[in-house]
Amino acid sequence: MYNFLMGYRVAVVGATGEVGRAFLKVLEERNFPVDEIVLFASERSEGKRLIFKGEEHEVKALSKQGSFKGIDIALFSAGSGVSREFAPRFASDGAVVVDNSSAWRMDPEVPLVVPEVNPEDVKIFKNKGIIANPNCSTIQMVVALKPIYDRAGINRVFVATYQSVSGAGAKAIRELEDQTRAWCEGRDFPDPKHIPKRIAFNVVPRIDVFMENGYTKEEMKMVNETRKIMHDENIKVSATCVRVPVFYGHSEAVHIETKRDISPEEAREVLSKAPGVVVLDDPKRDIYPLAVDVQGRDEVFVGRIRKDLAFEPGLAMWVVADNIRKGAATNAVQIAELLVKEGLV
Ligand code: NAP
Ligand code: 3JN
């Protein structure tokens, strides 16, 4: 699919983090045409070396004074503060930025893209030179909703998430490990620092900060981003986002009120033909998607497809994906692939 005569100078900002390291893997696995890779992180990581395509590359500190000229594509995953400050600077120096943070997602001049759902939106990035990657929980949900939306329409969605600790970064993964080790060794639990409450042997119904309306920011991301990606301000979404003691993979219980009747069999059929979706749904054989089975995969897995008992007409389903790959790095690299395919970079 690539024009192999053309290679790109690609920057990864936040390269030492969970998503940054996944960027390197995904770029390599998908054989993205990288001529040169430039790695950035904070000053703490200056001089660290990371491997890309079998070769070591030194990490540079993202400097306020630096010039970013010569970069074609910048993949950002260093948090929203860094994106707010540096994405416009990379863009004005000539790069197209694909940003993983929430900083630009709701900006009307910035497209918010999931390639399986709204690939055409990638073309409208020109004003700011920035394309936003949605939140991981939104991405996997809309990939599963789109085929149902196209067949039966959607009025309302109710979703409860079961989000792994990797969504909160490398330090949160270590926090779950440390708390679990303490329990195994009969020691007191260390105080939580990166997840608001103890996460080992617990579930925590708070991801990101609380908003005025009692929902968390993570929950409101799912509400607002879904409408923007689906180009439908009338879809009502209500979410409860929960952190669970799982390392990788977000799971979601999704309940949908459709506009027209759609049977579970029909839903299974449209989902199994949809791009980026794998249906794993055979209750008689105890088959449904599990977070531990989807680690390292790029698709969105759907199972437990059944008639909803509260929404009429409606469907219920269980949606699982690797949050660091399809929820972050893979989706962003797919956006970069679209840019190449459309000749936009
Ligand atoms: P992480 O493991 O904590 O990594 C954070 C990365 O950002 C590290 O490389 C860190 O560098 C770098 N960084 C932090 N402050 C910086 C600064 N001032 N200047 C330059 N680099 C800086 O977190 P992660 O899980 O990779 O997530 C990173 C960000 O990606 C999140 O904050 C979020 O905005 C976004 N994200 C999005 C999704 C999604 O839903 N699509 C999912 C996960 C993450 P050091 O190693 O030097 O500290
Ligand atoms: O917690 C998760 O499972 C997903 C977290 C995503 C995240 C973490 C820190 C900051 C985001 C995001 O992508 O929405 C942000 C942010 O950029 O606001």
CATH number at residue 250: 3.30.360.10
Report CA(263)–ligand 1 centroid distance (Å). 42
Is residue 3 pLDDT above 70, yes or no? no
The residue range of the domain holding 71 is 8-133+328-341
* Dihedral, 176, 203, 210, 137 alpha carbons, nearest 10: 80
Q: Are residues 97 and 185 in the same domain?
A: no
Is 327's C-beta closer than 6 angstroms to any atom of ligand 1?
yes
Q: Are residues 240 and 318 in the same domain?
A: yes
Any domain includes 3: no
Q: Are residues 148 and 217 in the same domain?
A: yes
* Pair 337, 116: CB distance under 8 Å: no
Residue pointed to by tokens 């009025």: 155
Report the residue among 49, 77, 138, 331 best suited for mutation to probe ligand 1: largest number of ligand atoms under 8 A from its CB: 77
Q: Which residues are catalytic?
A: 136, 250
**What integer is the mean pLDDT of 30-53?**
97
Q: Are residues 161 and 76 in the same domain?
A: no
Q: Are residues 146 and 118 in the same domain?
A: no
Q: Are residues 28 and 149 in the same domain?
A: no
* Span 260-318, pLDDT tens digits: 999 999 999 999 999 999 999 999 999 999 999 999 999 999 999 999 999 999 999 99
Check residue 100 and report its DSSP letter: -
CATH number where 80 lies: 3.40.50.720
Q: Are residues 222 and 236 in the same domain?
A: yes
Q: Are residues 121 and 263 in the same domain?
A: no
The total of structural domains in the chain comes to 2
* Pair 48, 16: CB distance under 8 Å: yes
CA 12 to the chain's CA centroid:
16
Is 136's C-beta closer than 6 angstroms to any atom of ligand 2?
yes
Q: Are residues 98 and 174 in the same domain?
A: no
- pLDDT for the residue 79: 97
Helix axes 330-341, 18-29, angle to 10 degrees: 50
Helices (H) and strands (E) in the chain, counts: 8, 13
**What integer is the mean pLDDT of 146-175?**
98
* Span 86-118, pLDDT tens digits: 999 999 999 999 999 999 999 999 999 999 999
**What integer is the mean pLDDT of 67-88?**
96
Instruction: Find the radius of gyration of the CA atoms of the chain.
Output: 20
* Span 190-220, pLDDT tens digits: 999 999 999 999 999 999 999 999 999 999 9
- pLDDT for the residue 61: 95
* Pair 218, 135: CB distance under 8 Å: yes
Q: Are residues 104 and 150 in the same domain?
A: no
**What integer is the mean pLDDT of 9-18?**
97
The span from the CA of 150 to the CA of 169, in Å, is 34
Any domain includes 2: no
Nearest to 147 by CA among 254, 276, 291, 235: 276
Q: Are residues 151 and 61 in the same domain?
A: no
Is residue 65 pLDDT above 90, yes or no? no
CA 19 to the chain's CA centroid:
9
Q: Are residues 82 and 127 in the same domain?
A: yes
- pLDDT for the residue 130: 97
